[in-house]
Amino acid sequence: MASVHNARRSFMKMLFTAMAVALPTATAFAAEPIPADLRETALGTFKALPSTTPAVANNPITPEKIALGKALFFDPRVSASGVLSCNSCHNLATGGDDNLETSIGHGWQKGPRNAPTVLNAVFNIAQFWDGRAEDLKAQAKGPVQAGVEMANTPDQVIATLKSMPQYVDWFDAAFPGAADRVTFDNLAKAVEAFEATLVTPAPFDAFLNGDDAAMASEQKQGLALFMEKGCSSCHAGINVGGEAYYAFGIVEKPSAEVRPEKDKGRFAVTNSADDSYVFRVAPLRNVALTAPYFHSGKVWDLKQAVAIMGTTQLGEELKAEEVDLLVAFLNSLTGKVPEVVLPILPAETATTPRPVSQILGK
């Protein structure tokens, strides 16, 4: 009996010893200490959002211009069909995008790429995935004229707006110094002025500004890991991305579904072989609200998107615990969307062009 008892004691001792050794290994990652200089280190890479509407180049922002831009942003009559507005693809109620793989445009056509969020877009180095629009003014003109989107023409848009006296008054108030106030350029400037107000301060900004309690412990651990792993080499600056161009598949080529072979990204803009499969780095603010992910819109789960970025951009298969912490940090980028009251739009008149089903734009 004594030998059996001793054997049991030996076995239990070995079991508890093994558990004691294994437990730190299993929990060490979760218990990773938060660096004391985390905020200082982060401020070397990121920047908090401003507390006021940012200025934009060559377009002084005024309340009248913002009000006009908001009306134009929500007005479907800017499209040839009278069905689609800017808000159709950049829905302010759903993260500033449409939560579709690729957007649906004129005549139920399917667009080629996933719609980026309009929230905080004013801070991007350029607009669209390939950066073909230098600013929000240029971006505002593109979808209006694209046959797969609004399918309209500048002349038709201006004829529509001029047919409604209330719009003429609003343009007069927004551009008092201009000789010809109701123009396609001024439409774009007004939309840009409104979109510049769509800034979403988040817990991450409060942390950068000195509030230690703004982010949970796992979010801070995720921030530290985000910088340690090198994610912040591309996703940096005020928009946590949107400031540079990089190849999608730096280390490992993504699957053909996630990165379609026919879409070579910025190559279509520059015609340079070096820009093949190069895209503007996605800004990560409010990323938890903007599924599906990537320019193809083929990935619906944020954890899966993070894991794909690990293998394709970092050349590393991230552990599940690491993915969880990185996603926790990304959740701290979800901000407060400004309250937007839907505008009451001017009524059509007898001279307002009627909606059409054909494509008017190029």
Could you list the active site residues?
A: 149
β pairing state of 245-247 and 278-280: antiparallel
* Residue 26: count of CB within 10 angstroms of its CB: 10
**DSSP helix/strand/coil, 238:** coil
Query: What DSSP string describes 29-89?
Result: TTTPPPPTTHHHHHHTTB-PPPSSPPP-TT----HHHHHHHHHHHH-GGGSTTS---HHHH
Strand partners, 280: 245
φ, ψ of residue 98 to 5 degrees: the values are: -110, 0
* Residue 228: count of CB within 10 angstroms of its CB: 13
Number of Cα atoms under 13 Å in the Cβ half of residue 165: 2
Question: Quick one: CA dihedral 282, 284, 290, 292, positive or negative?
Answer: positive
* Residue 105: count of CB within 10 angstroms of its CB: 23
Q: How far apart are the first and last CA of the chain?
A: 93
* Residue 12: count of CB within 10 angstroms of its CB: 10
Task: Look at residues 54, 335, 80 and name the one whose alpha carbon lies nearest to residue 197.
Answer: 54
Residue type for position 307: A
